[in-house]
Amino acid sequence: MDKGTGDRFGGRKPSRHERLTGQPWDASYQKEPPPWDIGRPQPALARVASGWAGPLLDAGCGTGEHALLAASLGLPVLGVDVAETAVATARRKAQERGLPAEFALADALDLGRLGRKFRTVVDCGLFHTFDAEDWPAYVASLAAVTDPGGTLYVLCFSDQEPGIGPHPVREDELREAFEPAGGWEIVSLVPARIHTRFNDEGFAAWLGTMRRHGGTERDSR
């Protein structure tokens, strides 16, 4: 990463989406809402929210709809994102709705720096923004903050139909990323949809439910 790139992205490694657009995530939130910000939780995640337990981490929370859903269910929750504008919007929503959700700036590739553990972790549309070469680091970052026995929910674009989303992920890629050797068990991996502001029917997606086993040597790297 050259110096100019490092300065533009706050010294962290940019995601695939950021490299493709040439802009940090925050730029997506500075005008009208980005396509993925539908102003409500994704239906696929809302349907499983009754199974969430606290404390909960919303990784790549954007403007906070999933964290706020968790807070409305009475769960202690932290939402994190690298986009300062999105985090500020999420905090404003929490205040307006009278919900005790916490939000902070954090790099998803270095979640261990939070110094906290969570019983539930939610990833809505973040996994697929990283290149395959970054998935091991991201999965290890998730492992660092997920309690043994805790549950991770991943909603990401899939390759299962024409007109796929911009970052399709194959089933075998997800299974390889969350392999048992890394301390994960895939409880379920089912077809779902990701809705956008410009596509009411949504794009084909995977909803993965992963359970965290005990820590491994790999997690401490």
Task: Express each pLDDT in 67-110 by its tens digit.
Answer: 999 999 999 999 999 999 999 999 999 999 999 999 999 999 99
Q: How far apart are CA 8 and CA 2, in angstroms?
A: 10
Q: Which two tokens stand for residue 88?
A: 């500020």
pLDDT at 151 exceeding the cut of 80: yes
Contact 94, 72 (CB under 8 A): no
Set out the domains of the chain in order of their start, with CATH numbers: 3-220 (3.40.50.150)
Task: Express each pLDDT in 171-202 by its tens digit.
Answer: 999 999 999 998 999 999 999 999 999 887 88
Q: How far apart are CA 25 and CA 27, in angstroms?
A: 5
Contact 112, 138 (CB under 8 A): no
Q: CA 30 → CA 21, 66, 169, distances in Å?
A: 15, 20, 28
Number of residues in the chain: 221
Provide the greatest CA pair distance for the chain: 45
C-alpha closest to that of 84 among 28, 133, 36:
28
Contact 108, 138 (CB under 8 A): yes
